[in-house]
Structure 1
Amino acid sequence: MAIRRATQAETNQILQLSGKVMKESSMGYAVNSVQNAYQLFMPVLQKGGYFLIDLENGLLRGWILLAADYNTVKGEVMGNLLSAYVFPKFRRSGVAMDLAIAAINEFKGLGIRTIQLNVFKGNPSRILCEKLGFKPVSTVMELDIQ
């Protein structure tokens, strides 16, 4: 296993793949759309965000997108984990944990003290987040008013 920053070519590949797993990642909230993945993640990448990837024997096993941004509520620069995905055949093997720890260490190296992420309701990755020490801060609520 090797975790490292994605190259530009790998980033383009991940953007394509992200669009194909949006529905799964969002627990059905979003539709799969490569165009939506680009619209969602390109601004983050253009402002300095980047993917860490997990490779084993040249095979991509998963990724996590990191970004740092000023949080006006807390008045400090905070880390954000904006996209994480592990291919099904590599789940429950520690890939997600290793990626998350690598991301946390990247933020520590930048002097960032707080990291946030969003987990969709029902996503089993919430368990991993809690194991890492993340705790709920707010709840996003929605009302369809057709």
Structure 2
Amino acid sequence: MITKANENDLEEIISNAVDAVQEATAYTFKPFQRQVEYIIRTTLDRGGYYLILKEKSCLKGWILIDISRDYFKKQNIGFIYEVYVLPKYRGKGYSKELIKAAIDELSMRGCNEVERNIRSTNFYKELGFVHHQR
């Protein structure tokens, strides 16, 4: 079941956050626990939040999303900052479930566009994401 994270879920996410960041950066960035917690709390304080995949009180993965206003286009833009599935639950399609749930959530909140701040792969093309040069 995918739901919004509560404070207990957040503590579990934070306890695994260093691994998530290292994997997301292909181990080029090795943050301290305190750094990662600061980044997470700052994003949450600005309005971002986690959706989690949990079954029988067992956290399997999460996705960090946020909404920002594009004042040039005069619309809200959804952002996916992080998608992470704990290693023992990988290969079951949970990342796709989380991304689809995030897109649905952001769409319901008025976002016609969703951007991602995660490594580009064919996986995201499959879900309809396109690469734009900036």
Amino acid in the other structure paired with 1:23: Q
Alignment partner of 2:44: what SS? helix
Counterpart-to-counterpart distance in 1, 2:38 and 2:72: 25
- Alignment-derived partner of residue 133 in structure 1: 128
Q: How far off its partner does 1:48 sit?
A: 1.5
Task: Kindly indicate whether residue 24 of structure 2 is the aligned counterpart of residue 29 of structure 1.
Answer: no
Give 1:118 shift.
1.9
Give the Cα separation in 1 of the matches to 2:117 and 2:47: 19
User: Once the two structures are aligned, what percentage of the paired residues are identical?
Assistant: 25
Q: TM-score, normalised by structure 2?
A: 0.89
SS in 2 for 1:114: strand
Q: What CA distance in whole angstroms lies between the structure 1 residues aligned with 2:63 and 2:90?
A: 14
Question: What is the total number of aligned residue pairs between the two structures?
Answer: 134
Give the superposition deviation at 1:19: 2.1
Q: Look up the equivalent residue of 1:113 and give its one-letter code.
A: N
If the length of structure 1 is used for normalisation, what is the TM-score? Answer: 0.82
1:45 aligns with 2:44: yes
Question: What is the Cα deviation at residue 74 of structure 1?
Answer: 4.0
Amino acid aligned to 1:68: I
**Mapping of 1:86-97 within 5 angstroms?**
86-97=85-96
Q: Who is 2:114 aligned against?
A: 115
Change (3 A) 1:71 1:43: farther
